[in-house]
Amino acid sequence: EAAITQAEEEETKEHLFESLLSECRDAIQAVREELKPDQKQRDHSLEIDSGKVSNIQYLHSYLTYIKLSTAIKRNESMAKALQKALLRQQGPEEDGKRVPRPQDLIRLYDIILQNLAELQQLPGLEEDKSYLKEIGIKTLVYKAYRCFFIAQSYVLVKKWSEALVLYDRVLKYATEVQAQAGTKKNNLKELPDVQDLITQVNAEKYSLQAAAILDASDTDEAESPSQVKDGKPLSERFEIFCLDPSLVSKQASLVHFPPEFQPIPCKPLFFDLALNHVTFPPLEDKAEQKAKSGLTGYIKGIFGFRS
């Protein structure tokens, strides 16, 4: 661990971490082989001793604790390196190099939280309240950082509401850490400072709100030209305000011209014009035989042409 602390390059640190983890895995495997006969002896022991944990099991828990703690430190070191790379990042990918993203940090913090969950389940430490409380505080710290970078990933895709809710969740986790830390502050010195995280989250919230307002105004400006291109003249969109340069040009669209035809009520001239061309049916068998008027007078009487 001293060599890891003194190492300056990230590649060197990662190599040392991998060497230490490999040694831990070898030691744990050797202890597991010793645990098999010990487990058989426990199965045949008295019931009064069945709940006790043997020394070899304590050794196994201790080695597992070292392995998981080392894995957490390695992932935290990688997370710090990625955070520095994110701060230096100013543009998209260049020269085929992969640019770090908040999603990479989220995966690292997921692994850290999984390791902490395994630390809580080590045999022989289930009743150690101080140990469990310390692991619980560490879990809250890493949950806060994981939630923070999830919010950052939402900011990149302009999901302002989701990001704001996640920032509030980060503040909630950080407040719980400060409330529960108490006398455990000496044991939590190696953890990231939640106060710095709170300051950063408050700054990000203000930036997010400003970006959301600017994005909303840009959206409104982008939508206004589309309202002009729908072909409606000015007389049909008095209630919509938009900057239309065509209104001050020679081709301003003010009204529909010529106006469309509309049906109106009028006298039915059809019958007046077509009357002379109408061929009437024969009515000799129905008409009265009058000497003076005849058939012509009868027809005139029907249509109201009486003298």
Instruction: Write out pLDDT tens, residues 187-225.
Output: 566 777 888 889 989 988 888 888 888 877 665 555 444
What mean pLDDT do residues 51-61 have?
A: 77
Residue 88 has pLDDT above 80, yes or no: no
Per-residue confidence (pLDDT) for residue 66, from 0 to 100: 87
Query: What is residue 229's predicted lDDT score, i.e. its pLDDT?
Result: 53
DSSP string, 243-281: --GGGGSTT---S-SSPPP-------HHHHHHGGG--PP
Q: Could you tell me the pLDDT band of residue 64, with boundaries at 50, 70 and 90?
A: confident
User: What would the pLDDT profile of 110-151 be if each residue is shown by its tens digit?
Assistant: 999 999 998 888 888 877 888 888 889 989 999 999 999 999
CB 47 within 8 A of CB 28: no
Min mean pLDDT across 18-22, 84-88, 268-272, 276-280 is at: 268-272
Local confidence band at 47 (pLDDT 50, 70, 90 cut-offs) = very low
Can you read off the two tokens belonging to residue 39? 């487990």
Query: Residue 46 — pLDDT band, cuts 50, 70, 90?
Result: very low
Gap between the Cα atoms of 105 and 100, Å rounded: 9
In this structure, the number of other CB atoms found within 10 A of the CB of residue 144 comes to 24
Phi first, then psi: give them for residue 221, nearest 5 degrees. Answer: -65, -35
Q: Which residue has the tokens 């939402």?
A: 154
Each domain of the chain, given as residue ranges in start order, spans: 1-40+54-88+100-123, 128-220
What is the value of pTM for the model shown?
A: 0.61
Scored b (16 or more CB within 10 A) or e, 74-99 reads bbbbbbeebbeebeeeeeeeeeeeee
What's the rounded mean pLDDT across residues 248-254?
A: 80
Alpha-carbon distance of 216 to 160, in angstroms, equals 11
**Contact (Cβ atoms closer than 8 angstroms) between residue 16 and residue 86:** no
